[in-house]
Amino acid sequence: MGKHYGQLDLDERIELSRHNDAGRARNEIARIMGRHPSTIGRELKRNNLPKGGYKPASADRIALSRRRRRSKIERLSPLGDHVRDHLAMGWSPEQIAGRLRLEESQHRVSHESIYRFIYRWPVRREKLHRYLTRAKATRGRRYFKRRREPIPGRRAIHERGQSIDNRSQFGHWEGDLMLIHPH
């Protein structure tokens, strides 16, 4: 069974808790559940209760609240104002994030977080996307490659005819570069 990289659901958290309570190692739990060991380790670390122990229902609530939490830019008004001001001055998200890093600001944020902030639904009404170079209202799909259809009637190179291999007919010659020297 291949590894599954999505988020854990409540049933998987219950199974994880059962294996963890039985004293199994994280690598073993990961192998049994078909998950990556770092996923199991991260889940146990992030969603443990403050007084210790992993409880599946509590872990599910903690994970849900983390997913619903607003971004750092939305939560920290000085950072949000800084980002908005610099976007209005024509700075790109990469420049803003880089400058925050260079100045060793107490608030750091990645350029990807700034893009997510700009295109996040509640912030969209501010139309911050207009300050970007392309000024697109929606963000395109990322990391999506359209599968190309094969060329119709295509033949493999090892299936070509003898006349092509001999280069005896016009049009079957190969050349990477042709130079014409004027005399």
Six-digit token string for 138: 């929606």
pTM of the model: 0.52
The residue ranges of the chain whose pLDDT is under 50 are: none
- Tokens standing for 130? 């207009």
